[in-house]
Chain A
Amino acid sequence: MTTLTDDTLPVTPRAMRDEMIAFVVMALLLASVPFTGVYPFFVMQALCFALLACAFNLLVGYGGLLSFGHAMFLGTAGYCCAHALKVWALPPELGILVGIAAAFVLSIITGYISIRRQGIYFSMITLALSQLLYFIYLQAPFTHGEDGIQGIPQGRMFGVFDLSKPTVLYYVVLVGFLAGFLLIYRIINSPFGEVLKSIRENEQRAISLGYRTDQYKFLAFVLSGTLAGFAGALKVFVAQNASLTDVHWSMSGEVVLMTLVGGLGTIFGPVVGAFAIIAMQQYLAGFGQWVTVIQGSIFVVCVLTFRRGVIGEIAHYFRRSL
């Protein structure tokens, strides 16, 4: 079996330094967005998807588990956060916590079920589970079916930050994204992350070394699902609604596409991929269903010729880890 990525490069101080430099550059670039005249709503949306893609990448790029149902965490956290804000009138920080908690519980349940099967079956099970949730949300009263939850109050974060101001909201979303990103980076480089990579490379050998691989995969699944829920909760404040599109299988497909374009198993790839795909959707919005055709073509081209993704190719060319 060929491996997903070729990060045979060891974690050296130099690699860490490269990644830190790249991180600081990324953070500075993103922090300067409000001063550049770029439409902040677009960047905020992209940041939410970038965090979602990073969480997804933690599972597929480092654990080798391709989830085709990550929209369920995005959508569930979104619905629960929106419900908490609108119906229970909770402050934003508690609303986010409710969303994360919902995704956490959901990922424990779905992880317990789907980790039981390997490889291709795992993908089909996660897809089927997310479709199950889609139909539940379609019929459940609290989601308001096709209409979704709309007109969500943004409120004041910690009673101080007025989230109805675009600039304030932007920095809150940015801080959330960077925190999530750093957490994922930390997980990848922890001893846990190293074991996860070894399971991806050769599960049998990891088992024979005494690791209970199922537990590692389960934990990776829960971490990934919960972080995806964090992205879903943040997205509620940006979009001010929670709707069925966020739980639909096409959303799961988009997350996969973002990560694939940026580079599976790279640290910065999902971020680049998310910005690329969201930008593409923005510019091609007038072309109707041709967007779907273009997305499908990108899938095909990436799989056939460009499996490392943008960041993966760059990292491979410079022999750096990014």
Chain B
Amino acid sequence: MQALYAQLLVGLINGSFYALLSLGLAVIFGMLNIINFAHGALYMMGAFVAYFLLSLGGINYWWALLIAPVIVGIFGMILERTMLQWLTGLDHLYGLLLTFGIALIVQGVFQNYFGSSGLPYAIPDQLKGGMNLGFMFLPIYRGWVVVFSLVVCLATWFLIEKTQLGAYLRAATENPTLVRAFGINVPRMITLTYGLGVGLAALAGVLSAPINQVRPLMGADLIIVVFAVVVIGGMGSIMGSIITGFALGVIEGLTKYFYPEASNTVVFVLMVLVLLVKPTGLTGRAA
């Protein structure tokens, strides 16, 4: 049973990353009509920024949690201003190709300087050790990742679904021209949205740094799984992305316990099943 709970926890952690990443993808897709292939690379950048902050500047984990998403977010906004904005009105596939190219560049540069091996990032002192919950031993850092991710996901949901700013955002997703007619600066909102989505990816990167080590290719395979998550959940609803992300992480964790050979493939197999049964994805809106 210990092993089962341990795998469930790993599943929840992976689910946190799926949720944070697919959430960002959904928000970006809503505003920019682009599937951000660079999401995995920017997640990796978040982890690296945290690593640099600690090793070069002596800036600790807690500040990194705040600063890394801001830095990567600004980097993302520069990308949006200099490149992505020129794709408005073109076929979807060009956005995918452009961001794929950006991902190759970012990952290639980091691979050149850091190879493919991982760099260690220590768990902050306050979150070291573990708790005995009676039925299992819970490493505090892992529990923290799950809780904190959940809080960030829900805060993002609240921002988009319940605030004035979120209302503008949703309106601009539906009909940008009309929203512009009301005097709202839609291009600036698009830039900020991209920054927000990318910042979420970087935040996931910082969270994963102490668990998965900091590697140039840490986001490359992850992003493909997240694509499958997005296909399963659909990008129409924020809450849908969060729930699907966590749920698939848990299913993956259970698979690791019951049938480890399939743990790499289970999300993809589920995607196939969902497509066969309900081609529009679980949240239902066709694209």
- Would you call B287 and A118 a contact (CB within 8 A)? yes
Say yes or no: A117-B108 contact (C-beta < 8 A), given A128-B228, A129-B272. no
Residues of B with C-beta under 8 A to A139: 261
Q: What 9 A-B pairs have minimum CB-CB distances, sorted nearest first?
A: A299-B101, A296-B104, A292-B108, A296-B105, A293-B108, A132-B268, A116-B279, A124-B227, A128-B228
The verdict on A292 contacting B268 (CB below 8 Å), with A4-B91, A127-B227, A128-B224 known, is no
Interface hit among B92-100, B170-178, B248-256: B92-100
Interface residues of A (CB under 8 A from B): 1-4, 60, 64, 66, 68, 113-114, 116-121, 123-125, 127-129, 131-132, 135-136, 138-139, 249, 253, 256, 260, 288-293, 295-300, 302-304, 307
Contacts A127-B224, A303-B98 given; 14 further ones with Cβ under 8 A? A2-B91, A66-B97, A117-B231, A117-B280, A120-B93, A120-B96, A124-B230, A131-B268, A132-B272, A289-B111, A291-B108, A296-B102, A299-B100, A303-B97
Closest to A1 in B: B91
B112 at the interface (CB under 8 A from A): yes
Q: Are B104 and A60 in contact (CB under 8 A)?
A: no
Q: Provide the residues of chain B in CB contact with A125, threshold 8 Å.
A: 231, 271, 275
Please indicate the chain B residues that have their CB under 8 angstroms from the CB of A3 in the complex: 91
Contact A300–B275 (Cβ < 8 Å): no
Q: Which of A4, A127, A136, A297 has the most CB of B within 10 A?
A: A127
The answer to whether B90 and A60 touch across the interface, beta carbons within 8 angstroms, is no
Q: Mark B259-287, 1 if CB is under 8 A from A, else 0.
A: 00100110011011001100111000011
Interface stretch, picked from B81-89, B141-149, B152-160, is B81-89
Q: Does B35 contact A (CB under 8 A)?
A: yes
In the complex, which of the residues A1, A128, A253, A260 contacts B271, with contact meaning CB atoms closer than 8 Å? A128
Closest-by-CB residue of B relative to A119 is B92
Q: Name B231's contact: one of A128, A136, A303 (CB within 8 Å).
A: A128
Cβ contacts under 8 Å, B224 to chain A: 127-128, 131, 249
In the complex the two chains form, is A304's CB within 8 Å of B231's CB? Answer: no
Q: Are B101 and A297 in contact (CB under 8 A)?
A: yes
Contact of A66 among B89, B93, B107, B231 (CB under 8 A): B93
A302 / chain B contacts, CB cutoff of 8 Å:
97
Contact of A292 among B91, B111, B227, B231 (CB under 8 A): B111
The answer to whether A290 and B231 have CB atoms under 8 Å apart is no
B203 is an interface residue with CB less than 8 A from chain A? no
Which of B87, B271, B276 has the most C-beta atoms of chain A within 10 angstroms of its own C-beta?
A: B271
- Count of chain B residues with a beta carbon within 8 Å of a chain A beta carbon: 47
In the complex, how many angstroms separate the beta carbon of A107 from the nearest chain B beta carbon? 15
* Closest beta carbon of chain B to A140's beta carbon, Å: 11
Is B200 close to A, CB under 8 A?
Answer: no
Q: Mind listing 18 A-B residue pairs with CB under 8 Å? A: A1-B91, A117-B275, A117-B280, A117-B281, A120-B35, A120-B93, A121-B231, A131-B221, A256-B97, A292-B105, A293-B108, A295-B108, A296-B108, A299-B97, A299-B104, A300-B101, A303-B94, A307-B90
* In the bound complex, CA of A127 to CA of B96 (Å): 12
Return chain B residues, CB-CB under 8 Å to A131: 221, 224-225, 228, 268
Question: B102 touching A117 by the CB < 8 A rule?
Answer: no
Chain B contacts for A295, CB-based, 8 A: 101, 104, 108
B109 at interface by CB-CB < 8 Å: yes
What is the minimal beta-carbon distance from B1 to any residue of chain A, in angstroms?
Answer: 27
B101–A296 contact, CB under 8 A? yes
Chain A residues near B98 (CB-CB < 8 A): 299-300, 303-304
Instruction: Closest A residue to B82 by CB, please name it.
Output: A304
Q: Which residues of chain B are within 8 angstroms of A114 by Cβ–Cβ distance?
A: 275
Q: Is the CB of A116 within 8 A of B275?
A: yes
**Whole-angstrom distance between the Cβ of A203 and the nearest chain B Cβ:** 13
Q: When the two chains form their complex, are residues B101 and A303 in contact, meaning their CB atoms are under 8 A apart? A: yes
Specify which chain B residues have a CB less than 8 angstroms from the CB of A64 in the assembled complex: 91
A303 to B29, CA, bound (A): 18
| Cross-chain contact B108 with A123 (CB below 8 angstroms) | no
* B10 in contact (CB, < 8 A): no
Min CB–CB distance A62 → chain B (angstroms): 14
Do B268 and A293 touch (CB < 8 A)?
A: no
B97 touches A124 (CB 8 A): no
Knowing A123-B96, A124-B227, A303-B94, the reply to whether A293 touches B265 (Cβ < 8 A) is no
The CA of A117 and the CA of B284, in the complex, are separated in Å by: 12
Closest A residue to B264 by CB, please name it.
A135
- Using known A-B contacts A292-B104, A292-B111, A300-B101, determine if residue A113 contacts B272 with beta carbons closer than 8 Å: yes
Q: How far is the CA of A139 from the CA of B260 in the complex (A)?
A: 12
Is B103 part of the contact surface with A, judged by Cβ < 8 Å? yes
- CB-CB < 8 A to B281: which residues of A? 117
Rounded to whole angstroms, the CA-CA distance of A4 and B94 in the bound complex is 9
A293 near B275: Cβ-Cβ < 8 Å: no
Selected from B35, B111, B276, the residue in CB contact (under 8 A) with A124 is B35
Report how far A290 CA is from B264 CA in the complex, Å: 29
Among A288, A293, A303, find the residue whose CB has the most chain B CB atoms closer than 10 A: A303
Q: Give the contacting residue for A113; candidates B109, B261, B276; CB below 8 A.
A: B276
Bound-state CA distance A4–B97 (Å) is 13
Contacts of A288 in B (CB 8 A): 112
Collect the chain A residues with CB atoms within 8 Å of residue B89's CB: 2
Nearest A residue (CB) for B232: A128
Contact in complex: A132, B102 (CB < 8 Å): no
